[in-house]
Copies of this chain bind each other. A is one copy, B any other.
Amino acid sequence: MPLPMSLGSWAVHIGVLLADQPGERRVALVPDVVKKLVAAGHHVTVAPSAGEAAGFPDDTYREAGAEIGVPSDVDLVAVIELPTSGTVPGRAVLGMLRPFDQPEAMTALAATGVTAWAFEAVPRTTRAQSIDALSSQATVAGYQAVLEGAVASDRFFPMLTTAAGTIRPAAVLVLGAGVAGLQAIATARRLGAVVSAFDVRAAAGEQVESLGAKFVTLEVPAQDAAEAGGYAKEVADDEQQRILDGLAPIVAQSDVVITTAAIPGRPAPLLIETRTVEAMRPGSVIVDLAAATGGNCAATVPGETVSHNGVTIIGATDLMARVSADASRMYSRNVSSFLALVTAADGSFDPAVDDDIVIDSMICRDGSVVHSRLLEQ
């Protein structure tokens, strides 16, 4: 086992765990990034087989200069999600901890005395973009959702004029034009589908059109999301109904619907009712990216693919894990960009640095939960 190039008191010792959620195939650090960290003087311990499912066998980590072994008492544990045990073998942890979905788990985590940063709490500022794991993983999800939808669809996406007749292009509808939605639009357009999209945020229209898709306007006031940190807010009940009714006929005419609408810390907004699903052509497909937070479609079963009246409804929550190699690559960059913030000038680990990103994203520290939003609740 090669020794890390330098192991002075100032290096950060990083641990990478093997994800233990079912279906999870990603790894928090890929060998390429490990190599850079090691070159920068850090020490990385990678749990055996941690990268296996993402296509990075242990040997590739060894070559990158990591130590293979079960991390324990490291400075910082990098994870995809919080291990099912709810604890981490180190002084600090960084990952997509889902703090606002599982506040109790955070309280329990805090009790272990660990310092925890959640990517979900990283502010959406310009400078924080390279740390924005939610964006990087939503990109993956948006892309994969279209592929899954296309595979499940009984129709071609592109138009095809052939000796055996002309096949009209598939109609794809994307609901929610955030990071994942835009990527879904781009991917579906690439495949040749006729794409339309809807979102409640005012800025979304131009962005949708900048990808060559049609923006669906319903008679609901567009939100100015600037105040909400770029995120959408829940809509009023009467607006909600108008959205449901407005979307229904468009959904019914679509061959594939990709739903991505989300409101941070809230259950996903309902956009497709069961009766709308029933109005769809048998053979059409709904991919519900919001399944994990309840789904945008009433017929969605999170984690499963179901058929309702001939319509396939994909509620998979592990879409990002399916593009394991590239999703892990992007995630690793997010992790290492964050790490740069908590590394002091002398190279040592400095969890208390005065940086708004580090402070804002901190969930718990010194035994107690510190994030304002969790404290409010």
Contact = CB atoms under 8 A, between A and B. Distances in A.
Interface in A283-314: 283, 310
A162 interface: yes
Contact of A162 (B139, B147, B151, B281): B139
Interface in A147-166: 147-148, 150-151, 153-156, 158, 160, 162-165
Interface stretch (A76-84, A224-232, A320-328): A320-328
Contacts of A223: none
A133 interface: yes
Contacts of A163: 129-130, 132, 135-136
A367 interface: no
A144 B151 contact: yes
Interface string A309-353: 010000000000011111001110110010000000000000000
Given A55-B283, A151-B322, A192-B190, A162 B143 contact: no
A315 B325 CA distance: 23
A212 interface: no
Contact of A283 (B54, B133, B135, B140): B54
Given A151-B148, A191-B187, A55 B164 contact: no
Copies of this subunit = 2
A199 B37 CA distance: 44
A113 interface: no
A154 B55 contact: yes
B55 A165 contact: no
Interface residues of A, number: 48
Contact of A167 (B164, B191, B329): B329
Given A154-B54, A282-B57, A162 B330 contact: yes
A13 interface: no
Contact of A324 (B150, B283, B331): B283
A25 interface: yes
Contacts of A150: 147
B331 A164 contact: yes
A310 B148 CA distance: 21
A307 to B, nearest CB: 11
11 contacts: A140-B156, A143-B156, A144-B151, A154-B322, A155-B326, A158-B190, A164-B333, A165-B329, A167-B326, A187-B191, A190-B191
Given A130-B164, A283-B325, 19 more contacts: A54-B154, A54-B283, A55-B282, A132-B163, A135-B163, A144-B151, A147-B150, A148-B151, A153-B323, A154-B325, A155-B326, A158-B187, A164-B329, A164-B333, A164-B334, A165-B329, A165-B333, A190-B190, A283-B324
